[in-house]
A and B are shown apart, each in its own frame.
Chain A
Amino acid sequence: MADRSGTKGTAVAEITLAVSRDVVAARQAVARVLKERGLSAMRITRFATAVSEIARNAIVHGGGGRISIYLDPGKAYLRVECRDDGPGIEDVTLAMTEGYTTAGGLGRGLGGAKRLSHDFEIRSAPGEGTTVSMSVKL
């Protein structure tokens, strides 16, 4: 396999998010890597659920996007970056608030994903899409 190492680390997988089946593909890809790395079922479930949340957000709110999974250069973390070119989020703090929802959901997804991952960063602006980056310790 070609070495795909970059500044971000070694790419493991990249998945296009368009339909809900792709959410399953994304979290299965993450779960597979974590399992190979010997993480406990508990930690795999936690991070896979976080990935499920943000991948679904990219489809429901962002109209689809891409998710990249890579090992960071020190190989101590698995990082997931999910981008969409949707309308973006006007008020990120409000979006992170528990129970706040614009699409009739539970309003727990973003806050939940943050709690389920080691670190969590969200960048968004109106008209500029949304990028969520989060990681899990290996």
Chain B
Amino acid sequence: MPQTSTANILSILETDFSSLIEDWLGTQVKEGVKRSDLFSDSESRAQNRELLRAFSKGVRAGVVNEEFNLDDDAWEDLRAVLVDVSKERVGRGVTPTEMATFVLALKSTLFKRLEAMPDLEGQRLIRDVLMVTRLVDAFAIYTNEIFIGERDQIIERQRQEMLELSTPVVELWDRVLTLPLIGTLDSARAQEVMENLLQTILERQAEVVIMDITGVGTVDTQVAQHLLRAAAAVRLMGAECIISGISPMIAQTMVQLGIDVGTVSTRSSIRTALSDALQKVGYVIKTSEVS
């Protein structure tokens, strides 16, 4: 009998592969983490097979003197399969707990096989159980890390998407633009807003720009400075800037902060700002005469 630390585990993994997959799936069902609502049986089986194959490969090549590190080259396949599986599972709404339990289910599957091995008992059995535990735990921890990394990427992507979504410049009428600002105006967003706005002024030959801050909850000195700088840049391009949506709260806070808006026009609502803007470009709003 081979005496390396993983000999018994490898022999189970390699000679009993197919039935191991079935047992693993069975344990997943028992633990309630086989999401048959999200994955078909054949999909689950294929994923399990790929994972187990990559895992065996890692166990064969990546464990030296009872030590291993999932970051080593020997585990490259497992990492690659895990990234694919995690990506798919995150996308379908599997939770981190389900994902970890799914991997950990491999433990009891392997334990049962070790238990059934003839001549394996006492200290040698314990040694093998310990090895399986360490390997599968590391596998599960790694899975969770990838899982979380995958989620972080989704969050970052959504953040980027929101950044773009939240700075639309809208043409309200000929030569009248509006920029509805929502949420927080930090330096990165302010820069993006400004670029977008100035470019649109040029394209649309705008004469009046309404920057609406109804959706901005807090105007501190930094936000105010960004707004006033944007207004100054708009003016340099020959257009006029109206800041609308100044709530009583924001008005009071700005006064306490000692913010001087200078010659920038401000209005409490976008409605009054629009009526002013239309007047400036030569339109009047009239009620139609119904006879």
Using CB atoms and an 8 Å cutoff, list the residues of chain A in contact with chain B.
20-21, 23-24, 27, 41-42, 45-46, 48-49, 52-53, 56, 98, 105-106, 108-109, 111-112, 115-116
Instruction: Sort A-B residue pairs by CB-CB distance and give the 8 closest, nearest first.
Output: A112-B257, A45-B249, A52-B220, A20-B186, A115-B256, A108-B258, A106-B221, A109-B221
- Min CB distance, B251 to chain A, in Å? 10
Taking A49-B257, A98-B258 as known contacts, 12 extra A-B pairs with beta carbons closer than 8 A to each other, sorted by chain A number, are A21-B186, A24-B184, A24-B186, A27-B218, A46-B256, A53-B221, A56-B222, A106-B224, A108-B259, A112-B256, A112-B257, A116-B257
A contact face: mostly helix, strand, loop, or mixed: helix
A85–B195 Cα gap in the complex (Å)?
A: 35
Chain B residue numbers with a CB within 8 Å of A53 are 220-221, 257
Interface residues on chain B, number (Cβ under 8 Å): 21
CB closest residue in chain B, given A24: B184
Distance between A126 CB and nearest chain B CB, rounded to angstroms = 24
In the complex, chain B residues whose CB is within 8 Å of the CB of A116:
253, 256-257
Query: Which B residues between 243 and 271 are near A, CB-CB below 8 angstroms?
Result: 248-250, 252-253, 256-259
Q: Give the residues in chain B near A112, CB-CB below 8 Å.
A: 220-221, 256-259
| Shortest Cβ distance from A115 into B: residue | B256
Interface set, chain B 207-253, CB cutoff 8 A to A: 217-222, 224-225, 248-250, 252-253
CB distance from B165 to the nearest CB of A (A): 17
B95 contacts the other chain (CB 8 A): no
In the bound complex, residues from chain A placing their C-beta under 8 Å from that of B250 are: 45
Q: Are A106 and B218 in contact (CB-based, < 8 A)?
A: no
Give the contacting residue for A49; candidates B186, B188, B218, B225; CB below 8 A. B218
Chain A nearest CB from B189 CB (Å) reads: 10
* In the bound complex, CA of A105 to CA of B222 (Å): 7
Q: Within the assembled complex, what's the spacing in Å between the Cα atoms of A108 and B221?
A: 7
Contact of A45 among B186, B188, B218 (CB under 8 A): B218
Q: For residue B257, which residue of chain A has the nearest CB? A: A112
Asked if B4 is at the interface of the complex by the 8 Å CB criterion, the answer is no
Out of A21, A56, A98, name the residue touching B220 (CB < 8 Å). A56
Determine if B249 and A106 form an interchain contact, defined as CB atoms under 8 angstroms apart: no
Question: What is the CA–CA distance of A56 and B252 in the complex, to the nearest angstrom?
Answer: 20
Contact A45/B222 with A20-B187, A108-B258, A111-B258 known, Cβ cut-off 8 Å: no
Q: Report A-chain residues with C-beta under 8 Å of the C-beta of B259.
A: 106, 108, 112
List the B residue with the shortest CB-CB distance to A117: B256
What is the CB-to-nearest-CB distance from A23 to chain B, in angstroms, rounded to a whole number?
A: 8
**A105 cross-chain contacts in B, Cβ below 8 A:** 221-222, 225
Nearest chain B CB to A44 CB, angstrom units? 8
Q: Can you show 29 pairs from A to B with CB atoms below 8 A apart?
A: A20-B187, A23-B186, A24-B184, A24-B186, A27-B218, A45-B217, A45-B252, A46-B249, A46-B252, A49-B218, A52-B222, A53-B221, A98-B258, A105-B221, A105-B225, A106-B221, A106-B259, A108-B221, A108-B257, A108-B259, A109-B220, A109-B257, A111-B258, A112-B221, A112-B256, A115-B257, A115-B258, A116-B253, A116-B256
Query: How distant is the Cα of A23 from the Cα of B218 in the complex, in angstroms?
Result: 11
Which residues from chain B contact A42 at a C-beta distance below 8 Å? 248-249, 252
Residues of A with C-beta under 8 A to B225: 105-106
A24–B188 Cα gap in the complex (Å)?
14
B253 and chain A: residue at smallest CB distance: A49
What CA separation (Å) do A52 and B187 show in the bound complex? 14
0/1 string, B73-105, CB within 8 A of A gives 1: 000000000000000000000000000000000
Chain A residues, Cβ within 8 Å of B218: 27, 45, 48-49, 52
